[in-house]
Amino acid sequence: MSCGASVLGKAGYHDFHPSIPADYWWHSAVTDIQLDRTYKLEAKCDFTATNGHTTAPGNVRFIVEFTLHSS
């Protein structure tokens, strides 16, 4: 499985792993972010799915919107 992420609003941030196990607990560390500003972490994993008889490509995508508040 391969997974990658980027943060909208944070130029230059990206996280990509070309080969990770299916049971990996994916995490991402974003540094030097501004308080009271909203960011979006966009992530995608590509994998091969199987139903016991055949395989097919699959993927999952998600977006996490986050803000660190100053008070």
DSSP assignment letter at 35: T
Q: Burial of 30 by CB count in 10 Å (0-12 exposed, 13-18 middle, 19+ buried)?
A: middle
Measure the CA–CA gap between 6 and 53, rounded to whole angstroms: 35
For residue range 27-68, what is the model confidence (pLDDT) as tens digits? 888 888 999 999 999 999 999 999 989 999 999 999 999 999
Split into its structural domains, the chain has a count of: 1
Q: What is the pLDDT of residue 23?
A: 87
Confidence of residue 22 (pLDDT cuts 50, 70, 90): confident
Q: Quote the domain boundaries for residue 63.
A: 2-67
Cβ neighbours for 7, distance < 8 A, ≥ 6 positions apart = 13, 30, 39, 40, 41, 42
Contacts of residue 50, defined as CB under 8 A and 6 or more positions apart, other chains included, come to: 56
